[in-house]
Amino acid sequence: MDNKAIATVLYETADMLEIDGQDSFRIRSYRNAAQAIENHAQQIKDIISEPKQVLAIPGIGKGMLANLQELFKEGHLSAHTGLLEKYHPSMLQLLKIQGLGPKTIALIWSAYQVSDVDGVEKLAREGKIRELPRMGEKHEQKLLKAIEDYRRIGGRFLIDAAETEAAKLTEYLSQFPGFEKITPAGSLRRGRETVGDLDILVTGPGCCSATEREQAVAYVAKYPPLMDILASGDNKISFRVRTGMQIDVRLLPPESFGAAMQYFTGSKAHNVSLRQRALKMGYTLNEYSLATLEGEKPVAGRTEEEIYAKLKLDYIPPEMRENLGEIDKAEQHSLPTLIEQSDLQGDVHMHTVETDGRNTIEEMAEAAKAHGYKYMAITDHSKNLAFANGLDDKRAVEHIKRIRDTNENIDGIKIFAGIEVDILADGDLDLSDDVLAQMDLVIASVHSVFNQEPAKMTERLLKAISNPNTSIIGHPTGRIQLRRDAYQFDMHAVLAEAAKRRVAMELNSYPDRLDLNDVHLRQARQQGVKIVINTDAHHTSHVEKIRYGVLQARRAWLTKDDVLNTLSPDKFAKAMKHEWTSE
């Protein structure tokens, strides 16, 4: 037990004593001791048999010494375990929520006997926290936000956050002399919608002599956002940064870099299949190389390409490595040609200052043009979304005119006039058919009443799809990653109707949406439904978020043909009026 672990037990005991309503002197003695031990240069475990040395640490008296002796003799502290039993171990999770202190937890406990995160979240959502003494609605909202942060930090991160973190670290590592290649592997490289921890692989010409390794690890340890080091070995250092993200950095010799890329990109399931194949062919495959079973002579390892080639497989893009049949396809030379960002000719879900966007029509169009698109669409909100200042029929018609005028006055990009119209609770669209018919394209989206019975929600979506003006269903499942689950409905029935009516499904690229997700995209393709990949941009800078959508499309094995906004402007315009033929 190191000093940090001891301090944690003491801090937790202090917090639980406070929840228990014990006197402040006793509580303070635990906190002071925890702090002193945490900052003490010498390990307590090395001096515990010398009571005088322990007592010499400021803040540690005879009582605390007895506690420490118990801790080392028994492996636990009875004051700590007793309180844990009384309040349930889940209390420790509650204490980790920023801004939820022992006093509030005590209040919640005495009123509701709830001591776990899910339970407290439920109370807050039910408006029961504001009923406690000295609490109000503001506290309740802050608490919900804190729980959200806790979940994020305790769990997975959105792909854009992971990417930003990886880019910052890569920049830092690239300044270390001798590091030549620095690449993310793991779930980030596979383009998964969320990332658990970051896996960064590093190599260079001389990588890595013992001294270079030592210097490199020391350099990584000085990374400014680094909070604590979790493990540090010969060629690996694991640490946590201030955002709560955990990062594994691995140093590799160049001749193993491809093997390590392959291994640490995963997925685990893909790797298991690949290794079985290697064994059948008389090879072993690990993070260092592909080698002969007999004599362990390496035959590949410098690049991933040579490993797949030696295994008589076409190169499998990282996004496909989930063991969903990609190895068979690679063997048969029949891997699909996945869609690429450069295949997209337009982005047709964009908001402006007219509703809840931050830029004008012109600014959004210029951003789309600078991105290299041939077309884009302005699709502001409809009136049901009151907080977004959504458009009614009259304003929508005026807005169309403005969009068309802007289109006349801009060169090099076609601006379509569209709308993101709300699908009301009964499945009706929020604007009159007459106005919707004037649009070049209509995205119909659910933005309210998410908790309908699945059958009702299915009916609602089917009705929206059956409106002849509907071109696209926007963010079809409504999920907000790490925050709100998808609303429930019969996806198969909805996709079948969309296929029949030639209504497209959106792949919304906003990182917290990514909706449809990879699984549903695959299902949509199988049912003959076309996809439109959009950003839902509310700012010119959001145009770049399209790449997160493209990654999900690739994970779903989509090709250029599956996605309507790879079409030329004319063909795309027709497709928005249901005029396309499935080949």
Task: For residues 153 and 92, give the distance between their C-alpha atoms in angstroms, rounded to a whole number.
Answer: 15
Q: Which of residues 19-38 bind ligand DGT (CB under 6 A)?
A: none
Strand order in the sheet with 298-300: 283-285, 290-292, 298-300
Asked if residues 321 and 190 have their Cβ atoms less than 8 Å apart, the reply is: yes
Our finding on whether 445 is near Zn ion (CB under 5 A) is yes
Task: For residues 403 and 389, give the distance between their C-alpha atoms in angstroms, rounded to a whole number.
Answer: 18
CB of 427 to ligand DGT, least distance (A): 38
Quick one: what does residue 268 bind among ligand DGT, Ca ion, Zn ion, none, with the CB cut-off 5 to 8 Å set by partner type? ligand DGT
Quick one: what does residue 264 bind among Ca ion, ligand DGT, Zn ion, none, with the CB cut-off 5 to 8 Å set by partner type? ligand DGT
* Beta strands 290-292; 298-300: pairing state: antiparallel
CB of 460 to ligand DGT, least distance (A): 34
Task: For residues 532 and 441, give the distance between their C-alpha atoms in angstroms, rounded to a whole number.
Answer: 12
Of 199 and 536, nearer to ligand DGT (C-beta) is: 199
Asked if residues 84 and 108 have their Cβ atoms less than 8 Å apart, the reply is: no
Task: For residues 411 and 394, give the distance between their C-alpha atoms in angstroms, rounded to a whole number.
Answer: 28
Contact region for Zn ion (CB under 5 A) — 27-35, 402-410, 422-430, 437-445?
437-445
CB of 318 to ligand DGT, least distance (A): 10
Of 179 and 264, nearer to ligand DGT (C-beta) is: 264
Contact region for ligand DGT (CB under 6 A) — 132-140, 166-174, 191-199, 554-562?
191-199
CB of 506 to Zn ion, least distance (A): 9
Of 199 and 304, nearer to ligand DGT (C-beta) is: 199
CB of 186 to ligand DGT, least distance (A): 3
Of 157 and 373, nearer to ligand DGT (C-beta) is: 157
CB of 420 to Zn ion, least distance (A): 5
Closest CA to 379 of 457, 307, 473, 455: 473
| Site size with Ca ion, rule: CB under 5 A | 5
Q: Verify cis geometry, omega within 30 degrees of 0, for the bond prior to 94.
A: no
Contact region for Zn ion (CB under 5 A) — 30-38, 329-337, 359-367, 441-449?
441-449
Our finding on whether 196 is near ligand DGT (CB under 6 A) is yes
Asked if residues 430 and 391 have their Cβ atoms less than 8 Å apart, the reply is: no
Q: Which of residues 218-277 bind ligand DGT (CB under 6 A)?
A: 263-264, 266-268, 271-272
CB of 234 to Ca ion, least distance (A): 17
Task: For residues 285 and 261, give the distance between their C-alpha atoms in angstroms, rounded to a whole number.
Answer: 12
| Site size with ligand DGT, rule: CB under 6 A | 14
Closest CA to 382 of 417, 353, 423, 350: 423
Task: For residues 481 and 18, give the distance between their C-alpha atoms in angstroms, rounded to a whole number.
Answer: 35
Our finding on whether 197 is near Ca ion (CB under 5 A) is yes
Of 4 and 268, nearer to ligand DGT (C-beta) is: 268
Our finding on whether 199 is near ligand DGT (CB under 6 A) is yes
Tell me if residue 56 falls in helix, strand or coil.
Answer: coil
Our finding on whether 255 is near Ca ion (CB under 5 A) is no
353 φ, ψ to 5°? -60, -15
CB of 109 to ligand DGT, least distance (A): 34
CB of 2 to ligand DGT, least distance (A): 25
Site string for ligand DGT, 333-362 (x = CB under 6 A): ------------------------------
Q: Which of residues 199-218 bind Ca ion (CB under 5 A)?
A: 199
Asked if residues 45 and 1 have their Cβ atoms less than 8 Å apart, the reply is: yes
Closest CA to 442 of 504, 500, 365: 504
Of 55 and 269, nearer to ligand DGT (C-beta) is: 269
Of 187 and 508, nearer to Ca ion (C-beta) is: 187
CB-nearest residue to Ca ion: 186
Quick one: what does residue 445 bind among ligand DGT, Ca ion, Zn ion, none, with the CB cut-off 5 to 8 Å set by partner type? Zn ion
Of 48 and 313, nearer to ligand DGT (C-beta) is: 313
CB of 474 to Zn ion, least distance (A): 5
Tell me if residue 503 falls in helix, strand or coil.
Answer: coil
Q: Is the dihedral of CA 134, 138, 142, 143 positive or negative?
A: positive
Our finding on whether 186 is near Ca ion (CB under 5 A) is yes
Task: For residues 517 and 533, give the distance between their C-alpha atoms in angstroms, rounded to a whole number.
Answer: 12
DSSP 78-124: HHHHHHHHHH-THHHHHHTSTT--HHHHHHHHHHH---SHHHHHHHH
Tell me if residue 534 falls in helix, strand or coil.
Answer: strand
Task: For residues 325 and 269, give the distance between their C-alpha atoms in angstroms, rounded to a whole number.
Answer: 11
CB of 401 to Ca ion, least distance (A): 50
Contact region for ligand DGT (CB under 6 A) — 189-197, 220-228, 519-527, 557-565?
189-197
CB-nearest residue to ligand DGT: 266
Of 197 and 362, nearer to Ca ion (C-beta) is: 197
CB of 448 to ligand DGT, least distance (A): 33
Our finding on whether 186 is near ligand DGT (CB under 6 A) is yes
Contact region for Ca ion (CB under 5 A) — 4-12, 97-105, 189-197, 286-294?
189-197
Q: Which of residues 233-252 bind Ca ion (CB under 5 A)?
A: 248
Give me Rg for the CA atoms of the chain: 29
DSSP 209-275: -HHHHHHHHHHHHT-TTEEEEEEE-SSEEEEEETTS-EEEEEEE-GGGHHHHHHHHH--HHHHHHHH
Of 240 and 574, nearer to ligand DGT (C-beta) is: 240
420 φ, ψ to 5°? -105, 100
Residue 37, both tokens: 């031990």
Our finding on whether 195 is near ligand DGT (CB under 6 A) is yes
Could you give the angle at which helices 62-74 and 24-38 cross, rounded to 10 degrees? Answer: 60
Binding footprint of Ca ion on the chain (CB under 5 A): 186-187, 197, 199, 248
Binding footprint of ligand DGT on the chain (CB under 6 A): 186-187, 192, 195-197, 199, 263-264, 266-268, 271-272
Binding footprint of Zn ion on the chain (CB under 5 A): 445
